[in-house]
């Protein structure tokens, strides 16, 4: 009797294991491979790793946007901190069905920056003698959004490729100067630059 | 039109038309976007959300709670004594008395760092500087130059060479009135270039 009971127990356990093998629990994708929107959903559930990854993807674009708008590194740093604090607190308000994560985060950053702009106490401006040739608010908004997408895409490039584009485009170095600066062969600079531009084009297409 | 690198020089001329158009679009967007800012040290790592780390729930209590405060106070007192002692010993030698020091860090993938010690202003209005840099890339050509930065302005404080894995110690001079909010950068100067080269170290 007892032996039969043991046998039944073994069978039950065996069936349970087989059933689990047939219908494994769906495993979550590694956070590094998640889209921005998926990371936000995870952050809403308190996932610290997802937050770290989102932070690394966006901290430089957020800081660049803030610096461009505020023109002061200290206040731009504060606005960046505030942006990510808001992301951590309010990721639950992100609705994936309404669109990707990057525009949502852009709006959060913009709000934090606008708050910093309002907080600044400026002396009353004097009336200019001639109309300004600076871009107006719509052009500036369009340019900021474009820069945001490009800077976000740059963060997706591998570490050995990103500095090449930064040095070529934003430090004004020629390819041979980059080779000298990074102490790598000129041919490697050319190969990596072309590869980096290709990856950037892919990332920008995904962000469209 | 924004100045930038020559597209054909960057990618060559042997690309299929479709691929060339795709890369050219990325090239134009890069030019239109403008530079991305280097992060200040305070933003290198995320500092928020710490309180929700799951591993914090399993921390062992090594000391009774009532003793933790006393232990922290003792550690802080020891650290203060060590810091003040080190400050006095480290800063008061070779006829150089540092008033304060400023850390610098590498940019664009450069694994280098430095510390600027700023001495007392002399009778002529100069601020002597002692710069100790580690991990500066070895130069085949050119030299390094240090600038004081104020907004968009840059003021040279001197040049130096001799870099590599070892520490470089140089004495420089800032003949300007230092102000709160001033920054410092070290750039690599390349022969024949009229404008400052790429930034290697920054305080930003």
Contact yes or no for A67 and B37 at CB 8 A: yes
How many whole angstroms separate alpha carbon B160 and alpha carbon B114?
A: 14
In a domain, B104, yes or no: yes
Using a CB–CB cutoff of 8 Å, tell me whether B18 touches chain A. Answer: no
Share the mean pLDDT of chain B: 77
The residue that leads in pLDDT, B137 or A140, is B137
Are residues B133 and B42 both part of a single domain? no
Q: Which of B11, B29, B35 sits opposite A170 (nearest CB)?
A: B35
Q: What is the pLDDT of residues B2-23, one digit of tens each?
A: 567 889 888 888 889 999 999 9
- Looking at B45, B70, B92, the residue that finishes a domain is B92
**Is B130 within 8 Å of B104 (Cβ atoms)?**
no
> What residues of B are in contact with residue A140 (Cβ under 8 Å)?
none
* CATH code where residue B129 lies: 2.60.40
Contact yes or no for A169 and B4 at CB 8 A: yes
In a domain, B136, yes or no: yes
- Which positions 100-129 of B are in contact with A (Cβ < 8 Å)? 108-109
Contact yes or no for B11 and A73 at CB 8 A: no
Are residues B108 and B183 both part of a single domain? yes
Are residues B118 and B88 both part of a single domain? no
Report pLDDT for A38: 93
Distance, CA of B21 to chain centre: 38
| Angle (nearest 5°) at CA A74 between A147 and B130 | 110
Are residues B135 and B180 both part of a single domain? yes
> What residues of A are in contact with residue B26 (Cβ under 8 Å)?
197-198, 200-201, 204
Are residues B76 and B108 both part of a single domain? no
Using a CB–CB cutoff of 8 Å, tell me whether B27 touches chain A. Answer: yes
Are residues B75 and B118 both part of a single domain? no
| Distance to chain B for A23, nearest Cα, Å | 28
Contact yes or no for A180 and B190 at CB 8 A: yes
Residues forming a β-bridge with B202: B105, B185
In a domain, B156, yes or no: yes
In a domain, B159, yes or no: yes
Report pLDDT for A43: 93
Are residues B132 and B184 both part of a single domain? yes
Report pLDDT for A73: 82
Q: B82, B177, B94: which is closest to B130 by C-alpha?
A: B94
Q: What is the pLDDT of residues B156-204, one digit of tens each?
A: 888 888 666 678 888 888 877 777 778 899 988 876 676 778 888 998 7
Lowest mean pLDDT among A26-40, A77-91, B60-74: B60-74
**Is A173 within 8 Å of A167 (Cβ atoms)?**
yes
Using a CB–CB cutoff of 8 Å, tell me whether B80 touches chain A. Answer: no
DSSP secondary structure of B51-104 = GG-GGGGG----S-HHHHHHHHHHHHHHHHHHHHHHHHHHHEETTEEEEEEEEE
Contact yes or no for A64 and B36 at CB 8 A: yes
Q: How many CA atoms lie within 13 A of A46 on its CB side?
A: 6
Report pLDDT for A194: 93
Beta strands in B88-151 (DSSP E): 92-93, 96-106, 113-119, 127-134, 143-150
Model pTM score: 0.55
Are residues B85 and B129 both part of a single domain? no
Q: Which of A44, A58, A82, A168 to mutate to test the interface with B (most CBs of B within 10 A)?
A: A168
Total structural domains in chain B?
Answer: 2
Q: Which of B27, B39, B54 sits opposite A197 (nearest CB)?
A: B27
How many whole angstroms separate alpha carbon B96 and alpha carbon B145?
A: 22
Are residues B81 and B107 both part of a single domain? no
Do β-strands B153-160 and B113-119 pair in parallel, antiparallel, or remain unpaired? unpaired
Using a CB–CB cutoff of 8 Å, tell me whether B88 touches chain A. Answer: no
| Distance to chain A for B109, nearest Cα, Å | 7
In a domain, B177, yes or no: yes
Report pLDDT for B100: 83
* pLDDT exceeds cutoff 50 at A15: no
Residues of chain B above pLDDT 70, percent: 75
Q: pLDDT tier at A51 (50, 70, 90 boundaries)?
A: very high
Report pLDDT for B1: 43
Q: How many CB pairs below 8 A link A and B?
A: 124
In a domain, B1, yes or no: no
Six-digit token string for A82: 């505030």
- Which positions 48-67 of A are in contact with B (Cβ < 8 Å)? 48, 51-52, 55, 59-61, 63-64, 67
- Looking at B35, B57, B92, the residue that finishes a domain is B92
Residues of chain A above pLDDT 70, percent: 75
Using a CB–CB cutoff of 8 Å, tell me whether B6 touches chain A. Answer: no
Are residues B106 and B87 both part of a single domain? no
In a domain, B138, yes or no: yes
Give the domain range for residue B49.
7-92
* pLDDT exceeds cutoff 90 at B24: yes
Contact yes or no for A150 and B25 at CB 8 A: no
* pLDDT exceeds cutoff 80 at B95: no
The residue that leads in pLDDT, B63 or A61, is A61
Are residues B18 and B86 both part of a single domain? yes
In a domain, B2, yes or no: no
Using a CB–CB cutoff of 8 Å, tell me whether A151 touches chain B. Answer: yes
The residue that leads in pLDDT, B130 or A171, is B130
* φ and ψ of B102, to 5 deg: -130, 125
Are residues B39 and B119 both part of a single domain? no
- Looking at B48, B71, B92, the residue that finishes a domain is B92
* pLDDT exceeds cutoff 60 at B90: no
* pLDDT exceeds cutoff 80 at A108: yes
B154's enclosing H/E stretch is strand B153-160
Q: What is the pLDDT of residues A117-161, one digit of tens each?
A: 776 555 444 444 555 555 566 677 778 888 989 999 998 899 899
Q: Which range is most confident: A161-175, B62-76, B141-155?
A: A161-175
Q: pLDDT tier at A84 (50, 70, 90 boundaries)?
A: very high
Report pLDDT for B116: 92
> What residues of A are in contact with residue B56 (Cβ under 8 Å)?
none
Do β-strands B183-189 and B143-150 pair in parallel, antiparallel, or remain unpaired? antiparallel
Report pLDDT for B57: 41
| Distance to chain B for A146, nearest Cα, Å | 6
| Distance to chain B for A183, nearest Cα, Å | 9
Tell me what the mean pLDDT of segment A170-197 comes to.
89
The residue that leads in pLDDT, B63 or A168, is A168
Q: What is the pLDDT of residues B102-116, one digit of tens each?
A: 899 888 777 888 999
Contact yes or no for B204 and A73 at CB 8 A: yes
């Amino acid at each position: 009797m007892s032996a039969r009971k043991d046998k039944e127990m073994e069978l039950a356990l065996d069936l349970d294991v087989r059933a689990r093998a047939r219908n494994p629990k769906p495993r979550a994708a590694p956070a590094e491979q998640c889209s921005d929107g998926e990371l936000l959903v995870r952050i809403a559930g308190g996932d610290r790793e997802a937050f770290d990854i989102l932070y690394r993807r966006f901290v430089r674009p957020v800081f660049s946007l803030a610096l461009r708008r505020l023109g002061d590194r200290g206040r731009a740093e504060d606005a960046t901190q505030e942006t990510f604090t808001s992301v951590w607190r309010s990721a639950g308000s992100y609705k994936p069905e309404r669109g990707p994560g990057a525009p949502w985060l852009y709006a959060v950053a913009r709000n934090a920056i606008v708050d910093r702009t309002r907080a600044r106490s400026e002396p009353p401006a004097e009336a200019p003698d001639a109309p300004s040739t600076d871009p107006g608010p719509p052009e500036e908004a369009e340019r900021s959004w474009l820069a945001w997408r490009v800077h976000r895409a740059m963060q997706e490039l591998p570490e050995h490729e990103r500095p090449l584009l930064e040095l070529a485009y934003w430090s004004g170095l020629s390819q041979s100067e980059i080779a000298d600066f990074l102490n790598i062969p000129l041919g490697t600079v050319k190969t990596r630059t072309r590869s980096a531009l290709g990856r950037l084009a892919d990332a920008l297409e995904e962000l469209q | 039109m924004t100045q930038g690198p020559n597209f054909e020089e960057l990618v060559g001329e042997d690309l299929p038309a479709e691929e060339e158009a795709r890369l050219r679009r990325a090239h134009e967007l890069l030019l239109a976007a403008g530079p991305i800012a280097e992060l200040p040290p305070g933003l290198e790592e995320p500092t928020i959300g710490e309180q929700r780390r799951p591993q914090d729930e399993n921390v062992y209590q090594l000391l009774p709670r009532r003793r933790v405060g006393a232990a922290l106070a003792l550690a802080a007192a020891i650290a203060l004594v060590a810091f003040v002692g080190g400050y006095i010993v480290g800063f008061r030698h070779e006829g150089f008395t540092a008033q304060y020091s400023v850390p610098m860090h590498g940019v664009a993938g450069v694994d280098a760092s430095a510390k600027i010690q700023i001495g007392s202003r002399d009778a002529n209005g100069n601020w002597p500087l002692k710069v100790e840099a580690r991990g500066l890339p070895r130069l085949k050509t050119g030299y390094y130059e240090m600038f004081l930065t104020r907004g968009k302005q840059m003021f040279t404080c001197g040049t130096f060479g001799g870099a590599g894995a070892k520490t470089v110690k140089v004495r420089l001079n800032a003949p300007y009135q230092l102000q709160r909010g001033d920054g410092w950068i070290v750039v690599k100067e390349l022969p024949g270039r009229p404008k400052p080269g790429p930034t290697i170290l920054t305080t930003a």
